[in-house]
Chains A and B, each alone.
Chain A
Amino acid sequence: MSQVAAVRGDVRRAIGREAVREAGAGDPGWLRARREEAWEVYAATPLPSTRSEEWRYTDVAKLLPLDGLEPAGGGAVRGAALPDPLRRAMAQDRESAGRVVEVDGRVVSVELDDSLAAQGVVLSSLRQAARRGVGDIEALLATRAVPASDGKFSALNAALWSDGVFLYIPRGVRVEQTIRLSRWVSRPGTATFTRILIVAEEHSRLSFVDEILSPDFDSATLACTVAELFSRGGAQVQYVSLQRMGRGGVHLANQRTLAERDSTLDTLNVALGGTVGRVDLNARLLGPGANSDMLGLYFGDANQHFDFNTSQDHVAPNAHSDLLYKGALDGRARGVFRGIIRVHEGAQGTDAYQTNRNLILSDEAIATSLPNLEIEADDVRCSHGATVGQLDAEALFYLMSRGLGREQAERLVVLGFLGEVLSRLPLGGVVEKVTRAIEAKLGHV
């Protein structure tokens, strides 16, 4: 082992300027400058506190010892054997048109169907794409969708990201099978920063499944992810995030979808794992006829804490968005949903809906639901609704009166309750995979 490596093994790296420089080593000048600027924003932005409305129920200062975390960004080796849980999760997937595997913040493999590559589809490690300056990457990375100015963690991610995915679908190319990202975080006490940038050109089609897994950790371990999703006129994009980290995992996800004229940009967020999961999802309807279905499913037990902060920004007239988030909470789990529909001035003919439903399975689980509307146009159809309910005693009796034991009856009710979300996005393999994961979790409840 070399001298340098030995030193690095002894001295823990920390989140700071030095880490920003390390992350940017080998980057082109524009990107190094962007990282430095992002770091300045990070340094100048206070940590979100529970005094702010958007973070009222998630106390980051308490849940995440940022100063003690070591930025990940190495260690993963191309060609090394993948850990068993990741291989099992990958084996459950149906056929894919392409797949990226990311380990501890570094892309270790990229596969793409030759026919798609021949049509101009680009699937790449984000780091390499940025270094090569592929397409519009300089114009689109951490600028229009999730810039550093978006918040403390967006800034930190923009400064420290180590890798991720760049995916470009040319005009008119329809990717019939799913493209997948399989991520693994292995090292306790680390902070991983990664980004996804997807551009679907006019009339193209894509479904993308982003799955993150990890073992259980005995100390808080951060995966901070950003997804920047662009659908150009008439494109159809589905983005699915499956969060199945182990206990101790803290997932902070910032997703932004920019849907242009007549395009569809649908999302599904599934949160089953980790100890803390926070998703900030902002859907922007930028062109007339744009459409975003926003689905979410969470199932918490023990001390799991899930916080969804969603917004539907209707900037253009005659666009449509429909949000459905459903969660089941057992043990001492906490679920927070805060959603806002913003209909901007001039966005006439907006159709926007928002529904959050929670099923409470224990006396100590808590669900908080805060739906909101902000409307500055007059010809709109909007609705929002939220429910927090317990397992219906009459439903349990009905099922038990056919012979099902109490636990079986509860399982069936929970699966049915959450299954409604999956039935709205019948994407190859996702329904089965998530159902199996919920069933496995129900087995432990």
Chain B
Amino acid sequence: MNDSPVLVVTGLAAGVADEDLDILKGVDLAIRPGEIHAIMGPNGSGKSTLAKVIAGHPGYEATDGSAELNGEDLLEMEPDERARAGVFMAFQYPVEIPGVSIANFMRTALQSRLEDGEELDLFDFQELLMERMELLDMDASFAQRPVNDGFSGGEKKRNEILQMAVLNPALAVMDETDSGLDIDALKVVAHGVNTLRKENPEMAVLLITHYQRILNHIVPDRVHVMVGGRIVESGGPQIALELEAQGYEEYRKAHAA
């Protein structure tokens, strides 16, 4: 297995675009192929901002430091370029796109990865989509539904996992994908991620969560605790258990300005 990191974040500072205040205040992170890193932290710690800055959300702006995907400068790229380079972010709040079917969306997304003038083979696409849905135990009719339109919270998250499965990213960023899910939906998401990793052991995962419980189902290689825009502790999965027992209060006190 290739051992150079997929994602390298160095001294990354970032905030809301057009505002002076940094939310991230110097984040360092390196994720190797096949690794699962969890970032845990209280509300407002900046963990979700990190996900959005990596994906290129236009509402956020990096003010210092760097983020590289396989040696390429992510911060210089548009969101679509990052996606084509291998970044995938599972949204905390997936957006409804009325009138556009999931199948059509994914077909367009795969087409966008081809060279100009190259046409996606529709038969191959259909086969891929069906195969991915089968892998995730999804009904074939799901792909014909308009993207997230009228979906339940659980369905929206399943849709994120399906897209991840179709696009097969080098780096999957899960932005609080577990929030607001009941335990069954959580298991579906975890099962999806684990299944995809079996298929593609090189896929790196950055799992951003407030809660420990998803880590019972997706076992991380590393856990980072983020407080006040910085990673204040990193270690093995046991950190998550300690956090669960103690809460974030201790970290907050220790790292208060």
Q: Which residues of A contact B83 (CB under 8 A)?
A: 400-403
**B84: CB under 8 A from chain A?**
yes
Determine whether the beta carbon of B98 is less than 8 Å from that of A404: no
Q: Judge whether A405 is part of the interface by a CB distance below 8 angstroms.
A: yes
Complexed CA–CA distance, A162 and B109 (Å): 51
Q: Which of B37-45, B53-61, B119-127, B182-190 contacts A (4 or more CB under 8 A)?
A: B53-61
Q: Measured between alpha carbons, how far is A404 from B83 in the docked complex, in Å? A: 8
> Residue of B at shortest CB range from A326?
B99
Q: With contacts A406-B80, A408-B112 known, is A401 near B89, CB below 8 A?
A: yes
- Give the secondary structure class of A's interface: helix
Question: If A412-B105, A412-B108 touch, does A400 touch B78 (CB 8 Å cutoff)?
Answer: yes
A393-B58, A401-B79, A402-B163 are known contacts. Are A408 and B99 too (CB-CB below 8 A)? no
Contact (Cβ within 8 A) A403 B84: yes
| Closest chain A CB from B21 CB (angstroms) | 21
Cβ–Cβ < 8 Å partners of B87 in chain A:
401
* CB proximity of B57 to chain A, nearest CB, Å: 6
B57–A416 CB distance below 8 A:
no
* Contact A399 B99, CB 8 Å, known A393-B58, A406-B80, A412-B105: no
Contacts A398-B97, A403-B167, A423-B99; A416 near B146 (Cβ below 8 A): yes
A401 engages B55 (CB within 8 Å) = yes
Asked if B105 and A397 make an inter-chain contact with CB atoms under 8 angstroms apart, the answer reads: no
Digitize B168-185: 1 where CB-to-A-CB distance is under 8 Å, 0 elsewhere: 000000000000000000
Q: Is the interface of B mostly helix, strand, loop or mixed?
A: mixed
| Interchain Cβ contacts within 8 Å, total number | 82
Contact with A along B50-94 (1 / 0, CB 8 A): 000001111100000000000000000011101110011101001
Cβ of A374 < 8 Å from any Cβ of B? no
B219 within 8 A of A: no
Of B59, B96, B98, B167, which is within 8 A of A402 by CB?
B167
Contact A417 B98 (CB under 8 A): yes
Name the residue in A393, A399, A405, A419 with the highest tally of chain B Cβ atoms < 10 Å from its Cβ.
A399
Q: Are A420 and B112 in contact (CB under 8 A)?
A: no
Which A residues lie within 8 Å of B222 (CB)? none
* CB contact under 8 A between A416 and B80, given known A402-B105, A403-B113: no
**B78, B80, B97, B163: the one within 8 Å of A412 (CB):** B97
Which residues of chain A are near B57, meaning CB under 8 Å? 397
Chain B residues near A395 (CB, 8 Å)? 95-97
Chain B 103-137 interface residues, beta-carbon cutoff 8 Å to A: 104-106, 108-110, 112-113
| Complex interface: chain A residues within 8 A of B109 (CB) | 402-404
Q: Is B100 an interface residue (CB 8 A)?
A: yes
Provided the pairs A405-B80, A416-B98, A423-B99 are in contact, do residues A399 and B56 lie with their beta carbons within 8 angstroms?
Answer: no
Chain A residues, Cβ within 8 Å of B167: 402-403
Which one of B82, B94, B108 lies within 8 Å of A404 (CB-CB)?
A: B108
Within A366-420, the residues touching B (CB, 8 Å) are 392-395, 397-406, 408-409, 412-413, 415-420
Contacting residues, chain B, for A413 (C-beta < 8 A): 97, 100
For B101, give the chain A residue with the smallest CB separation: A416
B3-28 vs A, Cβ < 8 Å mask (1 yes, 0 no): 00000000000000000000000000
Across-interface contacts of A397 in B (CB, < 8 A): 56-58, 79, 95
Which residues of B sit under 8 angstroms from A408, Cβ to Cβ? 108, 112
The residue of chain A having its C-beta at the shortest distance from the C-beta of B94 within the complex is A398
CB-defined contacts of B105 to chain A, threshold 8 Å: 399, 402, 412
Tell whether A419 pairs with B99 under 8 Å between CB atoms, given A402-B167, A404-B80, A405-B112: yes
Q: How far is the CB of A417 from chain B (nearest CB, A)?
A: 6
Q: Which A residues lie within 8 Å of B98 (CB)?
A: 416-417, 420
Instruction: Check if B95 sits within 8 Å of A392, measured CB to CB.
Output: yes
Which residue of B has the minimal Cβ distance to A417? B99
Cβ B79 vs Cβ A394 within 8 A: no
Among residues of B, the one whose C-beta sits closest to the C-beta of A409 is B80
CB distance from B185 to the nearest CB of A (A): 20
- The minimal Cβ–Cβ distance linking A408 to chain B, given in whole angstroms, is 6
A381 to chain B, nearest CB (A): 23
Which of chain B's residues has its CB closest to A414's CB? B99
Across the two chains, which residue of chain B brings its CB closest to A419?
Answer: B99
CB contacts under 8 Å to A, within B155-213, are 163, 167
Closest to B104 in A: A412
Residues on A with C-beta less than 8 A from B112 are 403-405, 408
Instruction: Report how far A413 CA is from B148 CA in the complex, Å.
Output: 13
5 contacts between A and B (CB under 8 A): A398-B95, A404-B80, A406-B80, A412-B105, A416-B100
With A392-B95, A403-B109, A416-B146 known, 15 other A-B pairs at CB within 8 A are: A397-B58, A400-B78, A400-B80, A401-B56, A401-B82, A402-B167, A403-B112, A403-B167, A404-B80, A405-B80, A408-B108, A412-B105, A416-B97, A417-B98, A419-B99
* Pairs A-B, 7 closest by C-beta atoms: A416-B99, A416-B100, A403-B83, A398-B95, A419-B99, A402-B109, A400-B79
Which residues on B are within 8 Å of A, measured CB to CB? 55-59, 78-80, 82-84, 87-89, 91, 94-100, 104-106, 108-110, 112-113, 146, 163, 167
